[in-house]
Amino acid sequence: MRQRGSRRYRDGAVGFVVVALCLCGPLLADDPTQIDVKLKDHRFEPAEIHVRVGKPTVLLVTNEDNTPEEFDSTALQVEKIIAAGHYATIRLRPLGPGRYPFMGEFHSDTASGVVISE
């Protein structure tokens, strides 16, 4: 009889651990890394952004110019207009290793950069 009670206790404890892991799993996931990027004089600073492979990243792009700009990247699948004096949050999916170019669509001659995932 004592064995049966111990088994119930063990089964209950295992069930509790499984439920706790299911509920807490999302809390243990990696938070996205935030990287601040400035757009000034129609240039991105930094123009070379390094991110970790497989980790989500958030770019906080502040447009310090007096004109709007469009953050555009076919490789990153992002197009976002940023008004003068404002900022935009750009969420990057977890990337594989590689180079992902981006540009300012309205000033592509000077506003360009690359995200390097390594």
pLDDT digits (tens, 9 = 90+) for 68-110: 999 999 999 999 999 999 999 999 999 999 999 999 999 999 9
Q: Considering the chain, what percentage of its residues have pLDDT values greater than 90?
A: 74
Range in 5-9, 53-57, 100-104 with the lowest mean pLDDT = 5-9
Tell me the CB-side half-sphere exposure of residue 66, using CA atoms within 13 A. Answer: 0
Q: Is residue 81 located within the same domain as residue 38?
A: yes
Same domain, 23 and 76: no
| CB half-sphere exposure, 37, CA atoms < 13 A | 31
Whether 5 and 62 share a structural domain? no
Same domain assignment for residues 52 and 80: yes
Q: Both 3 and 21 in a single domain? A: yes
Domain that holds residue 10: 1-30
| pTM for the full predicted model | 0.74
pLDDT at 57: 98
Helix (H) or strand (E) holding 40: strand 33-40
Q: 50 pLDDT exceeds 70?
A: yes
> Do 19 and 73 lie in a common domain?
no
Position 3 confidence tier, pLDDT thresholds 50, 70, 90: low
Question: Are residue 85 and residue 113 in the same domain, yes or no?
Answer: yes
What is the rounded distance in angstroms from the CA atom of residue 61 to the CA atom of residue 113? 13
What's the structural domain count of the chain? 2
Reported confidence tier of residue 30, pLDDT bands at 50, 70, 90: confident
* Statement to judge: residues 91 and 73 lie in one domain: yes
pLDDT, greater one: 107 or 6: 107
Question: In a 3-state reduction of DSSP, which class is residue 104?
Answer: strand
Neighbour count for residue 98 (Cβ, 10 Å):
12
Helix or strand (DSSP H, E) at 75:
none
